[in-house]
Structure 1
Amino acid sequence: MQNADHVMILAEMVHDVRIIRLGEPDELPEQLRPWFGDSWGHWDGNTLVVETTNFNPRHPFRGIPPTDQLKVTERFTRVSAGTILYEFTVDDPSTYTEPWGGEIPFNRFNDLVYEYSCHEGNYALGSVLSGARYEEREAGRNQHD
């Protein structure tokens, strides 16, 4: 989702939301640490360039606690009607000897996307599924009457 001042990215898994402010960066107060860091972006042609700093210390970055020097730079480039090329660079001189990164194409998916569900430890799931199978059987029987 996008407007003139912000871009919002909603991840399907766990419904994580990132809000990216557009334009000139203005630092957030030190006590305000967004879960995914403070992201601001600008357009470079057809590429959205996003820089994120000020990561929440309680949210490990790839399993490693973030330092005050962690900076992630992302580039979102539309390369075709159905593809956005996502590129990222991680820079944290306190943790890594040099910046590292990668890229992956995001391809449009035209089918249904089902909500992410974590069923580990959900002991009611067996009953939920058996109830659904019962309803399916009954619906099938009613079609043959």
Structure 2
Amino acid sequence: MAGVGPPLMNTGYNSNYQIVQAPGYVMILAEMIHDARVIPLDGREPPPTGTRQWIGLSRGRWEGETLVVETSNFNAKNPFRGSSEQMTVLERFTRVAEDTIAYEFTVDDPGTWDRPWTAEMPMSRTRGPLFEFACHEGNYGLYNTLVGARLEEEQGAAKQGRD
């Protein structure tokens, strides 16, 4: 499953996330599939059980230096490992070094698994920008644009050699 989860999972490529904090909210943006997850931190109550979304509905809070996010209210279309609408995910984000966040999550879904399970992985800071996810396979327009630009560069270099 790519995107902003939850839980956040590494995929074969484009597993980069940008975490942004604003007053009262944290936003997690995924490079692949360009999902954005907005997490309120204002202590609001969980939504009614009839309100369901693809990535669930998240509520967050700070416990010391750790961001804790609880997510429930997934719809039946969530593709996470055969999960059901009963799934809840508890995530913990703790900065353990200047460039590393320890990411821990616990999945509880009595409709799918016999008991809750937990995993942890480091999230390392990525240098540079997060790019929009786009597939260019078979995009000959992009190829031809690059061929034309390279030809212009060659012609410019040749002209400079004559001047």
Q: Give the one of 114, 125, 132 matched to 1:97.
A: 114
Identity value in percent: 51
Segments of structure 1 that go 5 or more residues without pairing to the other structure are: none
Residue 77 of structure 2 corresponds to 58
Compared CA separation, residues 122 and 25, structure 1 to 2 (3 A):
same
Q: What is the number of residues matched between the two proteins?
A: 143
CA distance in 2, matches of 1:96, 1:140: 64
Higher relative contact order (CA 8 A, sep 6+): 2
The TM-score normalised by the length of structure 1 is: 0.80
CA distance in 1, matches of 2:108, 2:160: 61
CA distance in 2, matches of 1:136, 1:86: 46
Q: Give the one of 124, 149, 153 matched to 1:107.
A: 124
Compared CA separation, residues 47 and 127, structure 1 to 2 (3 A):
same
Give 2:34's aligned amino acid. Answer: H
Segments of structure 2 that go 5 or more residues without pairing to the other structure are: 1-19
Give 1:58's aligned amino acid. Answer: K
Q: Show CA shifts across 1:80-124 (max 9, x none).
A: 122111111111111012222322211222234443322245343
**2:108 corresponds to 1:71:** no
Give 1:41's aligned amino acid. Answer: G
**2:45 corresponds to 1:13:** no
The TM-score normalised by the length of structure 2 is: 0.72
- Output the aligned Cα RMSD: 2.4
Give 2:54's aligned amino acid. Answer: W
Compared CA separation, residues 132 and 73, structure 1 to 2 (3 A):
farther
Contact map agreement 2:105 2:118 (CA 8 A) in 1: yes
